């Protein structure tokens, strides 16, 4: 069996989004599973929408995800170039070959004429297919039209056959298309640049792609492309059309669905390994009763024919949960990585200057030590740990409930008890607090809750004693005393 070669071919017309990354991932898995080659090809023939910035960002996002390619515009390879705008001579050669064997012909219709054809067909309730106006022009007509200044586009001769076109799809099975629903489609613009259905076929063949794995939105392109392979005398690769990932509104996932760009997930503090694991759960599911897989297991277990046919809806809740699973592991096994991720979030929020000192790094490490196991994403550090880096922002409800006059003396007493405490560690701190409560004849919770609000502004968070230890005596005392004043003043209203 020849080496398996797959590809993902993005257009640099936007940031990499989750749907595209998912599709690329399955191509990548298939190649890796077979110890084959995964190729990244840039389809930038639409020069009005393609930019270098987007191309760079796509590479960067794949790099972050850990989806690596063996051949591509940046790493090169034996069958390049891998950027379509650098392959124009190739397309020209095969366009000429098609012309030479009369499998393609020049079309002099203008976009305006075609548009009005379509409009007419549509208003008459008919399906619009190309009229075939230029299909059988005499050479003399062509010369005349060119003389009048018209630059022709190129159409592939598709109509004429009555044979059904059969697509044997690896995930969908056999799909049959009747030729009367196809028409002669344009393969090159009048400026000579190739269109998707042409460039794609040429590239896939020349790059020796063995498996085309793409979204089901391309299924209807497949018969057209098969006609092209036949016209060129080429053997088409195997094809597999995967379902399309849908947004919550059940429409194809796209930029309209808010955060769909891979880089948005990155900046929110998601982990690439969690995202990849999550990807494997959409339209696939390696084992029936298991959710968490190491990447190597996914590679080893991937089988194209096990991929589902119906379109999954992107479930952010589940991704978030899975990310939390990975985050908790990381807190145990690779805390520095969590520290780095949180640092980036805090920098962005202006709570931490870039280029941490080793002291800051150590402090952040302690913070992660106490809040880490409740971070589902690194972004959650703003929910559970912002007060380590700024004065607490009192939640009005929390303040009015817990900073009442009755708690003022308790907070005062706690502060006093903590004043000369050595060492300022969670154990001794707890002892002091319990002592204060015992002296006052109240339950610990009567002071724990007010103290938490005083120190963090919130009712939820890490254990009070470890939190204080990390926060340090100075700030703890200061916050406790300020809150005591606030509490004594009444309802706690106006706190903040």
Partner RNA sequence: GCCCCCAUCGUCUAGCCGGGCCCAGGACGUCGGCCUUUCAAGCCGGUAACGCGGGUUCGAAUCCCGCUGGGGGCACCA
Active site residues per annotation: 255
Q: Any contact of residue 219 with RNA (CB under 7 A)? A: yes
CB 152 within 8 A of CB 111: no
Number of alpha carbons in the 13 Å side-chain half-sphere of residue 4:
18
Q: Could you write out the DSSP letters of every residue in 339-355?
A: HHHHHHHHHHTTSS-SS
Q: Any contact of residue 206 with RNA (CB under 7 A)? A: no
- From the CB of 78, what's the least distance to RNA, in Å? 22
Q: Which two structure tokens, joined as six digits, stand for 166? A: 């059969």
Instruction: Tell me how far apart the alpha carbons of residues 118 and 188 are, in angstroms, rounded to a whole number.
Output: 20
Residues forming a β-bridge with 184: none
- Which of 60, 75, 92, 114 lies at the binding interface for RNA (CB under 7 A)? 114
Tell me, by CB under 7 A, how many residues bind RNA: 85
- For RNA, which is the closer residue by CB, 440 or 444? 444
- Which of 23, 65, 67, 109 lies at the binding interface for RNA (CB under 7 A)? 109
Residues 127-186 that bind RNA (CB under 7 A): 127-129, 153, 172-173, 175-178, 181, 185-186
Crossing angle of helices 222-232 and 196-206, in 10° steps, is 60
Residues 52-91 that bind RNA (CB under 7 A): none
Binding mask 274-313 for RNA (x = CB under 7 A): -------xxxxx--xxxx--------------x-xxxxxx
Q: Judged by CB under 7 A, which stretch of 29-37, 90-98, 323-331, 482-490 contacts RNA? A: 323-331
Calculate the dihedral angle through the C-alpha atoms of 418, 424, 427, 430, rounding to the nearest 10 degrees: 20
CA of 181: how far to CAs of 32, 107, 171, 221, 236, in Å?
38, 20, 23, 12, 21
- From the CB of 148, what's the least distance to RNA, in Å? 13
- The phi and psi torsions of 200 (rounded to 5 degrees) equal -60, -45
Residues 4-63 that bind RNA (CB under 7 A): 9, 11, 43, 45-46, 49
- Residues composing the chain: 496
Q: Any contact of residue 367 with RNA (CB under 7 A)? A: no
- Which of 216, 260, 377, 407 lies at the binding interface for RNA (CB under 7 A)? 216
DSSP-derived secondary structure letter, 221? G
Q: Judged by CB under 7 A, which stretch of 52-60, 211-219, 293-301, 404-412 contacts RNA? A: 211-219
- From the CB of 11, what's the least distance to RNA, in Å? 4
């Amino acid at each position: 069996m020849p080496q398996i070669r797959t590809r993902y071919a993005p257009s640099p017309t936007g940031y990499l989004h989750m749907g595209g990354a998912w599709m690329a991932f399955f191509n990548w898995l298939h190649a890796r599973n077979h110890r084959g080659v995964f190729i990244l090809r840039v389809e930038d023939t639409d020069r009005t929408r393609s930019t270098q910035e987007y191309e760079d960002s796509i590479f960067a996002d794949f790099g972050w995800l850990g989806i690596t390619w063996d051949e591509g515009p940046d790493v090169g390879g034996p069958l390049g170039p891998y950027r379509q705008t650098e392959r124009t001579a190739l397309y020209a050669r095969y366009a000429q070959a098609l012309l030479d064997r009369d499998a393609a012909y020049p079309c002099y219709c203008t976009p305006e004429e075609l548009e009005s054809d379509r409009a007419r067909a549509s208003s008459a309730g008919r399906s619009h297919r190309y009229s075939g106006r230029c299909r059988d022009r005499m050479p003399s007509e062509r010369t005349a039209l060119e003389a009048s200044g018209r630059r022709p586009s190129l159409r592939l001769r598709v109509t004429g056959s009555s044979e059904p076109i059969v697509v044997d799809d690896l995930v969908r099975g056999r799909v049959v298309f009747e030729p009367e629903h196809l028409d002669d489609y344009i393969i090159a613009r009048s400026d000579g640049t190739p269109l998707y259905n042409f460039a794609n076929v040429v590239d896939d063949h020349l790059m020796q792609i063995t498996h085309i794995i793409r979204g089901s939105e391309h299924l209807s392109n497949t018969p057209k492309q098969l006609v092209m392979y036949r016209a060129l005398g080429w053997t088409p690769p195997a094809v597999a059309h995967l379902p399309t990932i849908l947004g919550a509104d059940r429409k194809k996932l796209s930029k309209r669905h808010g955060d769909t760009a891979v880089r948005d997930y990155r900046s929110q503090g998601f982990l690439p390994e969690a995202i990849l694991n999550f990807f494997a759960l959409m339209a696939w599911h390696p084992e029936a009763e298991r959710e968490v897989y190491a990447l190597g297991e996914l590679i080893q277990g991937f089988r194209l024919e096990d991929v589902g046919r119906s379109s999954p809806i992107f479930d952010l809740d589940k991704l978030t949960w899975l990310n939390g699973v990975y985050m908790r592991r990381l807190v145990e096994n690779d805390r520095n990585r969590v520290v780095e991720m949180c640092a980036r979030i805090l920098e962005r929020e202006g709570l931490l200057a870039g280029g941490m000192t080793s002291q800051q790094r150590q402090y952040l490490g302690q913070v992660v030590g106490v809040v880490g196991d409740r971070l589902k994403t690194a972004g959650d550090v703003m929910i559970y740990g912002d007060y380590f880096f700024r004065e607490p922002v009192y939640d009005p409800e929390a303040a009015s409930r817990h900073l009442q006059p009755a708690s003022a003396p308790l907070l005062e007493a706690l502060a006093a008890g903590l004043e000369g405490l050595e060492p300022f560690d969670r154990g001794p701190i707890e002892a002091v607090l319990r002592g204060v409560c015992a002296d006052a004849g109240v339950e610990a919770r009567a002071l724990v809750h007010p103290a938490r609000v005083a120190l963090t502004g919130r009712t939820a968070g890490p254990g009070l004693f470890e939190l204080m230890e990390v926060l340090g005596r100075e700030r703890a005392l200061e916050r406790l005393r300020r809150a005591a004043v606030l509490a004594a003043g009444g309802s706690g209203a106006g706190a903040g």
